[in-house]
Amino acid sequence: MRIDYHLKDRFDFGLLFPVIILFGTGLAAIYSSTFNNSLAQGNFEKQIIWGVAGLILFFITYSLPSNVFKQSAIPVYLFSIALLIFVLMIGKTVSGSRSWINFGSLGFQPSEFAKVGTILMLARYLSRTNTDIESFKDLLFALGIGLIPVTLILLEPDMGTVFVFLAMIITLIFWKGISVFAMFVVLSPAIVAVSSLFGIYYFIASLVIVVALLFIFRQDFFFSGSIFALNLACGFFADYVFRALSPHQQNRIQAFIDPMTDPLGSGYNTIQAQVAIGSGGLFGKGFMAGHQTQLQFIPEQWTDFVYCVVGEEFGFFGAIVILSLFTYLFIHILKISSSSKDEFLSLLAIGILAVLFSHFIINIGMVVGIMPVVGLPLPFVSYGGSSLLVNMLMLGILANIYRTRKNYA
């Protein structure tokens, strides 16, 4: 049993095992939804190849010396920024977003890669010995690191990925130990910005709350005034950004607010996805037997809407299994993060957790109709090479952190 103990100590089965089940379920769902579709012939086989490639990438990343991550942070970050600029200039537009770079028949989204680059860079900056997250200057610098890629992705525009980045930045700052007041300063403009999209009353209400909280925190008058001004500016800026969004994204946000207003346009996917899941019942309609899936009511179901294949064909049972596997995975990653003795690696792990978790929440949320349709894949389950590779890379980093968790004191 000695060897077994060593292996368990060095390799985290709790990390890889749920992911393999998720990937397998994804394969089944992809098979079922692409079988009759001439447009997607071969996607199942391609996904298997991507899976194998992802597994290789996972083990390579796993076996790297863990100081590699810290050393590569700056170059990887700068390279990903360069790619994001590059894609804005020569990228290929797919459904309204200029977010793809093509190499022959292979497509690649630089924003996927930029997730890793930004986490590395932020974790590196925040783990510097002299970084004080309570100092205004350092906080601003940290936000700057995160907001440069966010701005570039906003220009593509790819709203879903922007949400993922924001969640990741906030989680990293939170994990670093930001105080409640500073967190309020960071978050309030974002909340005000979102509420301004719902209309003028929401906007005013959120501003009133901000003013009330400012009184509670009792900071000096000048500082409170600047924060209020910042909030106000963000509210107007959000409105401007909304107008700058591509029509298909505007429609999607509007369709989320009331899908029935446009049942044939943007609301179509939401309605059909809900019908698919809802009609699945307790045990589902059986593999390759879902009406909604087999009759292809939902376009490109094997990508962002893959979860409704699971929901329809494997029912509540299958959907809950997927949900539980993800939850187990996330709690496990949180454990890895807090067990690491190295501040940089701990931050790195929490950043990865934030990225995977926000994908999960936004994707399933949109499929079950409680979030807008923003087009994010479900990690490890949805069809797609570049997202799977980046997710496996991040998983490899986590396994690496687990392996070396005792090395740093």
Does residue 331 touch other proteins according to CB under 8 A?
yes
Does residue 274 touch other proteins according to CB under 8 A?
yes
Total residues interacting with other proteins, rule: CB under 8 A: 60
Convert residues 117-156 into a mask of x (bound to other proteins by CB under 8 A) and - (unbound). ------------x---x-----------------------
Among 11, 174, 242, 287, binds other proteins (CB under 8 A): 174
**CA 352/CA 397 separation, integer angstroms:** 9
Does residue 38 touch other proteins according to CB under 8 A?
yes
**CA 118/CA 266 separation, integer angstroms:** 32
Does residue 23 touch other proteins according to CB under 8 A?
no
Q: Which is nearer to other proteins, 36 or 63 (CB)?
A: 36
CA atoms within 13 A on the CB side of 311: 19
The residue range among 117-125, 140-148, 330-338, 375-383 that interacts with other proteins, by the rule CB under 8 A, is: 330-338
The footprint of other proteins on residues 201-260 (CB under 8 A) is none
Instruction: Name the nearest CA neighbour of 390 among 70, 114, 85, 105.
Output: 114
What is the token pair recorded at 262? Answer: 């446009």
Q: Which is nearer to other proteins, 76 or 353 (CB)?
A: 353
Report whether 86 contacts 101 (CB < 8 A).
Answer: yes
What is the token pair recorded at 130? Answer: 């002299």
Does residue 108 touch other proteins according to CB under 8 A?
no
Q: How far is the CB of 214 from other proteins (least distance, A)?
A: 22
Among 135, 179, 226, 407, binds other proteins (CB under 8 A): 179
Q: How far is the CB of 400 from other proteins (least distance, A)?
A: 18
Q: Which is nearer to other proteins, 148 or 275 (CB)?
A: 275
Among 177, 199, 225, 286, binds other proteins (CB under 8 A): 177
The footprint of other proteins on residues 358-387 (CB under 8 A) is 361, 364-365, 368, 370
Q: How far is the CB of 150 from other proteins (least distance, A)?
A: 22
Q: How far is the CB of 257 from other proteins (least distance, A)?
A: 17
Q: Which residues, other chains included, contact 44 with Cβ-Cβ below 8 Å and sequence gap of 6+?
A: 27, 30, 31, 34, 35
Q: How far is the CB of 308 from other proteins (least distance, A)?
A: 10
Does residue 31 touch other proteins according to CB under 8 A?
no
Does residue 105 touch other proteins according to CB under 8 A?
yes
Among 109, 196, 231, 292, binds other proteins (CB under 8 A): 292
Q: Residue 321, class by beta-carbon neighbours within 10 Å (0-12 exposed, 13-18 middle, 19+ buried)?
A: middle
Q: Which residues, other chains included, contact 354 with Cβ-Cβ below 8 Å and sequence gap of 6+?
A: 167, 168, 170, 171, 172
Q: How far is the CB of 204 from other proteins (least distance, A)?
A: 28
Q: Can you give the binding site for other proteins, defined by CB under 8 A?
A: 35-39, 94, 105, 129, 133, 171, 174-179, 263-264, 268, 272, 274-282, 288, 291-292, 294-297, 311, 315-316, 319-320, 323-324, 326-327, 330-331, 334, 337-338, 343, 346, 350, 353, 357, 361, 364-365, 368, 370
